[in-house]
Amino acid sequence: MGGLIDLNTVNEDEGHEDVSSSVGEANNAPQCSPSSSSSAAVCMELWHACAGPLISLPKKGSLVVYLPQGHLEHFPDFPGISLDNIPPHVFCRVLDVKLHAEAATDEVYAQVSLVPENEIEEKFRERESDIGLGEEDIEDAGRSATPHMFCKTLTASDTSTHGGFSVPRRAAEDCFPSLDYKQPRPSQELIAKDLLGLEWRFRHIYRGQPRRHLLTTGWSAFINKKRLVSGDAVLFLRGADGELRLGIRRASQLKQTTASLVLPSEQIVHGSLEAVFSAISARCVFNICYNPRSSSSEFIVPFHRFLKSFEHSFFVGMGFRMRFEAEDAAERCCTGVITGICDIDPLRWPGSKWRCLLVKWDDIEANHQCRLSPWEIEPTGSAQVSISIMASGLKRNRIGLPLAKPDFHIPGEVGVSDLRGSLGFQKVLQGQEILCFNTAYDGSDGPNHRKSKSRRRYPESNSTSVASFPMGEPLGKAFRFHKVFQGQENCPSQSHAAADLHGQWRNESKGVEILEGISVPGCGNRWSAFIMKSSNPQAQPTFLPVQISSPSMFRQASILAPNIQSQCRFNDQKKEANDRGYKDIFESQLRIMESRGLNHSGLVKDYGNPIAYWSSTQIVPDLLPRSKTSCRLFGFSLTDSEVHGALNEKGSLSPILPPLLSETSIWQPHDNRSLTLTKASGSNCTKATQLCAIRDRLLDIVL
């Protein structure tokens, strides 16, 4: 039996071993490719062994979603890079995946070549179902084909200068050539290659009372060269060709110290990120270095996993579980509860699903909140039933029945089969509109999510349905138009709605939320609009036109509306504001405001992050309460005359502006590429005609 032997795992998980060995049948020729790249390409098997059991490496040729926001989190203290035209989710084809190891630390990483795929985004927009996503978009060949390997965490004795390495008996028998046990102290020389291709020689001896396997001569040299300390782990792996290979998994600490020495300069990092983002803007190939063992590296998600994670709705109070790798390299599960759903940075990354879930863990200290992305977790409870059924089905298959893809249909549940074929977008996502952005607000009139187990039961004729969507930019759009706005056709008169809204704002216990905005990244002197939404379900969504007068930055914005006269100004502190983030601008301005005693007015915060504010001199004080708000910005704009036309035409506040939407990812100001929203609008349309087409369509829907 040649499965994986991980000595750090309690040997209780028989199912696990089964899976790995069964998949191994499909591809059991170990492929070691020592060539091609500049930093030597490494043995695939060994790379996967070092990377650990939980990593998911995208497959060459597969579709993935790249989340720039998650990537940027690896460079925390960074000045703002220009993020115009960068959508929060970049749909990409994986051109190539190269496995590497850092020469200094042996740390594994992968260089992933991605190219943005327009097609996929368009298909989404057109709700086409044949996206052609295979089931197995994760590279699992290397991991599954590991015939004989073991991994041992080093003890104090193993790493001391006093002696050698104590080899676990089963490991030695499985991986090393067998010794002549008739001799009194049988020994041999082992030669093992590490990730970088270096050879290491060890004396392997079987001695002591009681007898044991030891590595002596050569071991301390290895320990010293690799700077291993107790707590780190070593892996031995015998390939099908009989060659011994040797890898390491560091505990944690050395990563920081060594990495800080090797860390490239700020300038260099900045430049490399800029290169990535400019490539995305231009739809060119770009390369991402992807460390599967670092925390929060899930910023390249297989497309089908990304999709799958939105099959089930997320709601506050929902239980979930997540797999992760414990300190001893074993696989563990933790469970928790969703405590909130909101964008982590609604200004820079509107609609991003990156860590959009606020969660609490069940076992860790109760007050500690953290953020996760939907694809990192699995729901527990009802959703878990189908999973467990499926798992048992697989087991049965393995024992008796021929292997075939299961096609269960569980009444009342979204089954696995829904994933393939039609994908059931409409069905699956309908129930969610009310759930987002209503979190952590325990108003009595909201639906009680803990009780509503059935996802078919969604609120009827609720006028607050202009809500955000779990899929953000490209995904959310299509659904909204057809279903979400339907409930609004018999809306009350607009003046009434305005009064309602105003009354609502005066009511301290209710919050007003700026839900969506329309703005122009990269263009100055255009008009933009926020869509404001009260949490009172009776109130109408409100559209506020705002002038954006400077490129890619809200240096000056004015709200124009009968009862909302306000100025929002941002200093032109740096001529080239590109190299600063929104947050810097906002926060420095905030300090100026506070120094003038204006701190309580017009500040729009999103979970503590100020995202916009208004001077209080002219503002209706209650317009922007101190409660949570959210703000989504899309990339489109109107001319002056269009806005004033809309204002005059209606003569009143709400809705004075049609809600225009566009693709931030496609819109390129300095380009003559035209903008396409739907297939119907045609590919030969100019920008101007498309703008009108979109507006008309939206007017049809909204008014």
Site residues (vs DNA, CB under 7 A): 7, 155-158, 161-164, 166, 168-170, 185, 203, 205, 207-214, 216-221
269 sits near a second copy (criterion: CB under 8 A): yes
Specify the residue, 236 or 310, whose C-beta has the smaller distance to DNA.
236
Specify the residue, 161 or 267, whose C-beta has the smaller distance to DNA.
161
Query: Of 363, 670, 672, 683, which one interacts with a second copy (CB under 8 A)?
Result: 670
| Least distance (Å) between residue 172 CB and DNA | 8
Bridge partners of 101, per DSSP, are 108
Q: Which does 104 bind (CB under 5 to 8 A by kind): DNA, a second copy, none?
A: a second copy
According to DSSP, the β-strands at 512-519 and 633-635 are parallel
Q: What is the CB neighbour count within 10 angstroms for residue 168?
A: 16
What is the Cα gyration radius of the chain? 29
| Least distance (Å) between residue 223 CB and DNA | 7
User: Which residues in 362-376 are b (16+ Cβ under 10 Å) and which e?
Assistant: eeeeeeeeeebbbbb
**Residue 635's closest CA among 559, 546, 533, 523?**
523
**Residue 523's closest CA among 657, 646, 648, 633?**
633
Q: Which does 220 bind (CB under 5 to 8 A by kind): DNA, a second copy, none?
A: DNA
How many positions of this chain bind a second copy (CB under 8 A)?
31
Q: Which does 698 bind (CB under 5 to 8 A by kind): DNA, a second copy, none?
A: none
| Peptide bond just before 79 cis, omega within 30 deg | no
551-610 positions binding a second copy, by CB under 8 A: 576, 578-579
| Least distance (Å) between residue 276 CB and a second copy | 8
Specify the residue, 47 or 206, whose C-beta has the smaller distance to a second copy.
47
Rounded to the nearest 10 degrees, how much is the dihedral formed by the CA atoms of 687, 693, 699, 700? -160
SS3 content of the chain, % helix, strand, coil (to 5): 30, 25, 50
Q: What is the CB neighbour count within 10 angstroms for residue 236?
A: 25
| Least distance (Å) between residue 188 CB and DNA | 13
Secondary structure (3-state) at 272 = helix
Q: Which does 278 bind (CB under 5 to 8 A by kind): a second copy, DNA, none?
A: a second copy
Structure tokens at 418: 């829904």
| Least distance (Å) between residue 220 CB and DNA | 3
**Residue 477's closest CA among 350, 565, 602, 566?**
350
Contact 552, 521 (CB under 8 A): yes
User: What is the pattern of x (binds a second copy, CB under 8 A) and - over residues 20-49?
Assistant: ------------------xx----------
| Least distance (Å) between residue 187 CB and DNA | 7
Specify the residue, 1 or 261, whose C-beta has the smaller distance to a second copy.
261
270 sits near a second copy (criterion: CB under 8 A): yes
| Least distance (Å) between residue 253 CB and a second copy | 17
| Least distance (Å) between residue 246 CB and DNA | 17
Specify the residue, 262 or 326, whose C-beta has the smaller distance to a second copy.
262
334 sits near a second copy (criterion: CB under 8 A): no
- Integer Cα distance of 87 and 562 in angstroms: 34
| Peptide bond just before 621 cis, omega within 30 deg | no
Specify the residue, 111 or 558, whose C-beta has the smaller distance to a second copy.
111
Specify the residue, 284 or 385, whose C-beta has the smaller distance to a second copy.
284
Query: Of 136, 199, 266, 508, which one interacts with a second copy (CB under 8 A)?
Result: 266
Stretch of 274-282, 396-404, 430-438, 690-698 lying at the interface with a second copy (CB under 8 A): 274-282
Specify the residue, 114 or 307, whose C-beta has the smaller distance to a second copy.
114
- Integer Cα distance of 501 and 76 in angstroms: 39
Secondary structure (3-state) at 568 = strand
Residue in the block written with tokens 């490399």 = 272
Query: Of 26, 156, 191, 282, which one interacts with a second copy (CB under 8 A)?
Result: 282
Q: Which does 156 bind (CB under 5 to 8 A by kind): a second copy, DNA, none?
A: DNA
Q: Which does 264 bind (CB under 5 to 8 A by kind): a second copy, DNA, none?
A: a second copy
Q: Which does 284 bind (CB under 5 to 8 A by kind): DNA, a second copy, none?
A: a second copy
| Least distance (Å) between residue 328 CB and DNA | 12
| Least distance (Å) between residue 664 CB and DNA | 55
Structure tokens at 695: 């507006």
Residue 650: in which H helix or E strand, if any? Answer: helix 640-650
CB burial class (10 A; 0-12, 13-18, 19+) of residue 515? buried
668 sits near a second copy (criterion: CB under 8 A): no
| Least distance (Å) between residue 4 CB and DNA | 16
Alpha helices in 176-293 (DSSP H): 219-226, 253-262, 266-281
Q: Which does 26 bind (CB under 5 to 8 A by kind): a second copy, DNA, none?
A: none
Contact 613, 589 (CB under 8 A): yes
Query: Of 15, 271, 317, 645, which one interacts with a second copy (CB under 8 A)?
Result: 271
Bridge partners of 634, per DSSP, are 518
87-126 positions binding a second copy, by CB under 8 A: 103-104, 111
According to DSSP, the β-strands at 369-372 and 187-193 are unpaired
Query: Of 209, 265, 367, 448, which one interacts with a second copy (CB under 8 A)?
Result: 265
- Integer Cα distance of 51 and 196 in angstroms: 15
Length, in residues, of the chain: 703
**Residue 306's closest CA among 478, 99, 62, 109?**
62
**Residue 645's closest CA among 657, 660, 653?**
657
| Least distance (Å) between residue 271 CB and a second copy | 3
Task: Render 128-161 in DSSP notation, one character per residue.
Answer: -S-----S--B--HHHHT--EEEEEE--HHHHST
267 sits near a second copy (criterion: CB under 8 A): yes
| Least distance (Å) between residue 209 CB and DNA | 3
Contact 541, 515 (CB under 8 A): yes
| Least distance (Å) between residue 186 CB and DNA | 11
Specify the residue, 162 or 405, whose C-beta has the smaller distance to DNA.
162
> Which stretches of the chain bind a second copy, using CB under 8 A?
38-39, 103-104, 111, 260-262, 264-276, 278, 282, 284-285, 287, 289, 576, 578-579, 670
